[in-house]
Amino acid sequence: MIIQKGKIKLKRPILFCAWPSLGIIGKYVIEYLVSELKPSVYAEVDLQGYVVSENVIVENGIIYSLPFIKDKIYYLKRDTEDLLFFCSDFEPSQLYMAKFGNDLLTFLNQTELTMVVTFSGIPSKILHTDVPKIYYASTSSLKTIPYFSTTNLQKLTSGIIEGMNGVVLSLAKEMGIDGICLFCEVPFYTVDMYNPQCTLKILNLLDDLFSFNLTYERIYKDIKLMDERIRSMFKDINEKAQQLFSKLQNHTYKNEEETEPVIFDFSTSEGITFEELKKRIKFSLPQSAKNKINELFKLASENIEYSKQLKEELDRWGVYKEYEDRFLSLFLKKKKDGKEKQE
């Protein structure tokens, strides 16, 4: 249920909305915009009818009922068009995603909603200290999307917009409402963490396009805290590695053919430095990427047209050499199948 708070007339508003996603980017962006721009409450959103409880809360041995879940839609009046902001920690249950998206857009379309903007992350081999890239996917040509038509954003050639961030855009397209999703690269080892570096990149873009005149003091503090946290994690791994080397240094065992014990010498080991860890992280392939690559190999084996998409994915992760033989075998298979058909 969505209940409007007061009689507010909006001018062809733009909706910025977010649900949980990789890097928790959208939620961070919306919350930061709300805290900086101080918009007013436009409506309350009661999610009770859209969420099926699968768990209960236990505290000190007592079972509690789940609390009522309510979120707010905020509005900001502007000279040209008004802006709406909505984010939630909770996605509707899968069975109710389309219903909630439809209810939300139908409610807001009474104000002649003109555009929907959502956000998502892309797991990448970059480091948290690197400047991430932004990509886009839109419901129509970027040249026809207000504000964004003048940008030089790189389009996402293939991928998935998970959950409500994608569902609401699909429904917007059906209703004839412009929609765009902004993707930002997320270091794969931070996909479950707030990512202020990605948030800063997107906020800078939105600030340029919509003239928000944001201050970034809190973002810079969060970037510093995140860096300290990750460096601390690396330091802890390094210390534990050195402790392990120290223990192994004097470890002995007797070889079956030797009468004297053989001693492993780890005296030259210095543990793992932060720089070494950065290099290892940068060139390791996350499981999610491996799964996608394997899926593309499967699709390409059935339809060779998927090979272009597969090659792009391998190049994006810089692992083409590792998969080169397997990739080339797709074309050998196609050639062999073609000969068999001719015979």
In a domain, 274, yes or no: no
Number of domains present in the structure of the chain: 3
Banded pLDDT at 254 (limits 50, 70, 90): very low
Indicate if 172 and 312 belong to the same structural domain: no
Pair 165, 100: CB distance under 8 Å: no
pLDDT on residue 302 = 87
Q: 123 and 49 in one domain? A: yes
pLDDT for residue 67: 65
Task: Convert the pLDDT of each residue in 165-222 to its tens digit.
Answer: 999 999 999 999 999 999 998 887 777 777 888 889 999 999 999 999 998 888 898 8
Instruction: Report the alpha-carbon distance of residue 124 to residue 287 in Å, rounded.
Output: 12
Does residue 49 carry a pLDDT above 90?
Answer: no
Which pLDDT score is estimated for 200?
92
CA-to-CA dists, residue 38 to 24, 30, 218, 219, angstroms: 21, 12, 15, 17
Listed residues 215, 250, 277: the one ending a domain: 215
Give pLDDT tens digits for 290-337.
888 888 899 988 888 888 888 888 877 767 888 888 888 888 766 656
Residues 129 and 25 placed together within one structural domain of the fold: yes
Bridge-partner residues for 182, per DSSP?
Answer: 119, 136
Same-domain check for residues 199 and 315: no
The three-class DSSP label of residue 140 is coil
In this structure, are 207 and 240 located in the same domain?
no
Q: What is the pLDDT of residue 269?
A: 40
DSSP string, 234-274: HHHHHHHHHHHHHHHHT-EE--TT-SSPEE---TT-----H
Residues 115 and 244 in one domain: no
Q: pLDDT digit string (tens) for 15-40?
A: 999 988 776 888 999 999 999 999 99
Percent of the chain exceeding pLDDT 70 equals: 78
| 76-91 mean pLDDT | 90
Q: What is the pLDDT of residue 131?
A: 84
Within a domain: 282: no
Q: Residue 275 falls within a domain, yes or no?
A: no
Q: What is the pTM of this model?
A: 0.67
| Per-residue pLDDT reduced to its tens digit, 222-251 | 888 888 887 777 666 666 666 665 665 555
d(CA 323, CA 137) in angstroms, rounded, equals: 28
Report the distance separating Cα 163 and Cα 175, nearest Å.
Answer: 19
Please give the residue range of the domain that contains residue 86.
Answer: 8-215
> Residue 119 has what pLDDT?
93
For the chain, report the end-to-end CA distance as a whole number of angstroms. Answer: 64
Q: Which of 28-42, 64-78, 274-288 has the largest mean confidence?
A: 28-42
- pLDDT the model gives residue 187: 82
Mean pLDDT across the stretch 136-145? Answer: 90
pLDDT of residue 31: 93
Specify the pLDDT at position 125: 79
pLDDT higher than threshold 90 for residue 73:
yes
Asked if 309 and 190 sit in the same domain, the reply is no
- The answer, yes or no, to whether residue 282 has pLDDT greater than 80, is no
Number of H helices, E strands in the chain: 9, 13
Per the prediction, the chain carries an average pLDDT of 80
Phi, psi dihedral angles at 93 (to 5 degrees): -60, 150
Say whether both 51 and 137 belong to one domain.
yes
pLDDT at 280: 56
Predicted confidence (pLDDT) at residue 143 exceeds the cutoff of 60 = yes
